[in-house]
Structure 1
Amino acid sequence: MSHQKRNWLERLRKMKGYSQEEIAYLVHIDRSYYSKIESGVRVPSRRLAEDLADLLNFHVSVFELEESPFHFALQDSPMVIAHFDLELRYTWIFNPHTDFDPVSVIGKRDVELENNEGTRELMRLKQEVITVRTSIRRKISFPLSDQTYEYDVTCHPLFNHKGKLIGGSSASTQLIKEEVQTKDYEIPSC
């Protein structure tokens, strides 16, 4: 692991009004150990990760995603991956558009970040996924600072380790608008 600070975890903790000491007490660990988890120096056990996820209302898989080779493969791709809670607030995001800081989006809804038809449509999609508890895929256009981007968005319901619905996840792939050009190619003779 690259020992990258878990800013998303710190932000969730502060949004819930907890100090590091309070979190540590509630999950039965030492404050310094929790501090190392938040700073990215330590990876919590599965059981501890589940306790933290239950307490702060995020999906435990985030810790696993940090260790996954997919994390590095997707790092510079045109794909945004995120988790959101039942109130449609982001609890984690990976690889957002440069208009958005990945830490400052935690705890916010899409329309609080940018209120446009694309973000409103994304919120409707997320709400529908939570309501019907099944995956849904849709193309959505987002007017951003430099141009309008079209994304192929798939949302899934997220259940915690106890089977309780806690929100959803989304994977959004930027679609590239390309002009198809026809070229004549010569076939080499044998």
Structure 2
Amino acid sequence: MRKWLMEKRKKQQLTQEEVSIKAHINRAYYSQIESGTRNPSMEVAKNIATVLNFSPFAFFMNENTEPFHVALKNAPIVIAHCDLDLRYTWLYNPHADFEQDASIGKTDLELDDNEGTRALMELKKEVIETKRQIHRKICFPLSTGEICYSVFAEPLLNQQGQITGIVTASMEMID
């Protein structure tokens, strides 16, 4: 079950029928995608993601055969996409304190309100305002102790060059 997908749809007060019409797919096919019994093609994932305003990569973030996953699964790197409301639309390899699927659609403050998450939110706002890449060290109080990340954030652009969100790559700083 793709609970995160159902929550995204319900948050926008859309039915499965409405999403399937807007995404140009059969309602039964959409229902199977939402239930997790079928995976969409990249084209269908893009259509659904456009309708519900999230990254199409969210459908594929648990694919164990992808070279991306194999290369980064044990690396201290977190990669994420957020929309212009700073809500996660895709999250890969978060700290063990956070669940990938449960984080989709939420802001950093909704996940945990602390000095680190507030600094991360400010960084993302600054990226939107300046339309430029920003790099900053941000420390978070986590269950394993304070962990500092080197956070790279930049605007996420659509094909027309308009900002649709922010992409971040955060690498744990190890002494």
TM-score with structure 1 length normalisation?
0.79
Q: Does 1:143 align with 2:131?
A: no
Distance 1:113 1:61, change over 3 A: closer
- The Cα of 1:28 is off from its aligned counterpart by 2.2
- Kept after mapping to 2: 8 A contact 1:158/1:166: yes
Alignment of 1:22-61 (within 5 A): 22-38=18-34, 39=36, 41-46=38-43, 48-61=44-57
Measure, in 2, the Cα distance between the counterparts of 1:66 and 1:160: 24
- Kept after mapping to 2: 8 A contact 1:20/1:31: yes
Tell me the equivalent position of 1:152.
150
Alignment of 1:71-150 (within 5 A): 71-150=69-148
1:128 is paired with a residue whose SS is helix
Structure 2 unaligned blocks of 5 or more: none
Counterpart selection for 1:168 from 163, 166, 169: 166
Q: Give aligned pairs, total.
A: 172
Identity of aligned residues (%): 47
Moved more, 124-133 or 62-71: 62-71
Q: Which has the higher helix share?
A: 2
Largest Rg, 1 or 2:
1
Structure 1 unaligned blocks of 5 or more: 178-190
- Kept after mapping to 2: 8 A contact 1:81/1:171: yes
Q: RMSD across aligned C-alpha pairs, in angstroms?
A: 2.2
Measure, in 2, the Cα distance between the counterparts of 1:60 and 1:159: 14
Distance 1:107 1:155, change over 3 A: same
Tell me the equivalent position of 1:69.
67
Measure, in 2, the Cα distance between the counterparts of 1:85 and 1:101: 18
1:98 is paired with a residue whose SS is coil
Counterpart selection for 2:16 from 17, 20, 28: 20
